[in-house]
Structure 1
């Protein structure tokens, strides 16, 4: 199942994705006499995603086709949600595309955090900070946590993941190059994290390792690689972070990039992942 968040009737509402349109959870509730939450983060926090997915997979999809749909041509997406408890990222994770890998002397992932104030949605402008000449964007597979977990194993991780999404992670690279300890600051500017438009539940993805991730600039693929070439696979990433802190529903873990692109005013940058709807954001240079 795919879920999106639509900006509709002055609010941001969760909707199930169909081939020709979207059915709002609110519409589904009215039609089927359900009482499911209508905000995706609330759905995750309440544990209702499994109920909705089971309903969808056992006849619900056909029922949705009979309900009122929001046309794909009418849609403006929001981010999947606005206030996750945590956004965690890791770096230097693709073996074939990173020249630094052979020089790494440590065995654990490089981790950083991003604030929820950095969040934007599909189609929103990425703002290059005033004075920046080296703001970069990186396409990454995003993991969305579905259930509270702590100190779990890699084998258990799949049971705690709600699904996956496309993300763009921005960095003010000059700040980072000045001192590696400045990584979190370099990644925390407003508009420096985009995610959506779709959450794909885990049951819809037969093999996560077959997915290809690409950073695309102005419709040209600049960097690409496969999940199978990650040093730290998605299940390891979840388990590793769960041994440090309790992971909560809606927490987002971004898994590294095949490579960055430098952004300029007027650019359009994308995250493309196999069988996902692309995440597309235009770029604007701030004047102050």
Structure 2
């Protein structure tokens, strides 16, 4: 099942993407007599997403073709939700990228980091280049959305705690990080340095995760591309790993690593492209002090 959060006349709500059509959860509630949350964060947190997906798989997919639709000309895609509990990341996860950056594969455990909620933006919003940095990079990544509170999850059980996947862009002040690896947290924490959306897709749409392709695109030209099979740490392993460090909560986001980064400058447009998802676009501008 594919979902997105859209804005129509400044009202935000969730739609199901059904082929070329979009149907709001509000319309489904009215037509089917349901009381599902109409925001994605609420759908995930209150476990309405599981109920909605069961309905969609059993009967809803066929029914939606006769429901009133949201006109594509009327909508603007926005961030799936605004305030996740945690935004977590894994660095240097593709074999080729790790060797390129360090000359060797990392030992036993991945490089990890966190981003603040203040770094979060959605599709088509501007990535703002901070004055403290002269070299900023953006990286396309497949991100995991946690579906329920969990701790110490076994790798084989990780799929049971995942709500879905989305496209994302991880932005880094590369020159700051290059001064000292211990500056990584600062380099990744500036406002607008994390974007995700527009599509959110449930795991049942991806029976074979290893074939998912992730591509960083700059100004319409592909820069780096790779497939999940070439990750050193696979998605279900990553969920298990983080859950053994900290409690994961519904709505937490985990970036799984990038096939490669692109240096971004004022006026650029950077994208994350993953087949099955609508591409995530973000324009780039210089930071302007208020």
Query: Normalising TM by the smaller chain, what interval?
Result: over 0.9
Cα shift at 1:131:
4.5
Cα shift at 1:287:
3.8
Correspondence for 1:188: 189
Correspondence for 1:222: 223
Correspondence for 1:79: 79
Q: Is the 8 A contact 1:87 1:251 kept in 2?
A: yes
Q: How many angstroms apart in 1 are the aligned matches of 2:104 and 2:57?
A: 47
Q: Secondary structure at the match of 2:77?
A: coil
Q: Secondary structure at the match of 2:156?
A: coil
Closer, same or farther: CA 286–105 of 1 in aligned 2, 3 Å = closer
Q: How many angstroms apart in 2 are the aligned matches of 1:121 and 1:285?
A: 18
Q: How many angstroms apart in 1 are the aligned matches of 2:248 and 2:108?
A: 22
Correspondence for 1:173: 174
Correspondence for 1:162: 163
Q: How many angstroms apart in 1 are the aligned matches of 2:199 and 2:148?
A: 19
TM-score w.r.t. the length of structure 2 is 0.96
Q: Is the 8 A contact 2:95 2:105 kept in 1?
A: no
**Cα RMSD, aligned residues only:** 1.2
Correspondence for 1:9: 9
Q: How many angstroms apart in 2 are the aligned matches of 1:279 and 1:22?
A: 18
Correspondence for 1:257: 258
Q: Secondary structure at the match of 1:206?
A: coil
Give 1:24-173 correspondences, 5 Å limit.
Answer: 24-98=24-98, 99-100=100-101, 102-104=103-105, 106-173=107-174
Q: How many angstroms apart in 2 are the aligned matches of 1:75 and 1:227?
A: 32
Gaps of 5+ in 2: none
Gaps of 5+ in 1: none
Q: How many angstroms apart in 2 are the aligned matches of 1:210 and 1:117?
A: 33
Q: How many angstroms apart in 1 are the aligned matches of 2:164 and 2:247?
A: 18
Q: Deviations over 1:119-174 (max 9, x none)?
A: 11111111111243211100000000111110011111011111111000001111
Cα shift at 1:102:
4.5
Q: Secondary structure at the match of 1:97?
A: helix
Closer, same or farther: CA 110–270 of 1 in aligned 2, 3 Å = same
Cα shift at 1:247:
0.6
Runs of 4+ in 1 over 3 A off after TM superposition: none
Cα shift at 1:8:
2.1
Closer, same or farther: CA 101–239 of 1 in aligned 2, 3 Å = farther
Q: Is the 8 A contact 2:170 2:194 kept in 1?
A: yes
TM-score w.r.t. the length of structure 1 is 0.97
The answer as to 2:183 corresponding to 1:200 is no
Cα shift at 1:104:
4.2
Q: Is the 8 A contact 1:142 1:166 kept in 2?
A: yes
Q: How many angstroms apart in 1 are the aligned matches of 2:73 and 2:216?
A: 25
Alignment length (residue pairs): 288
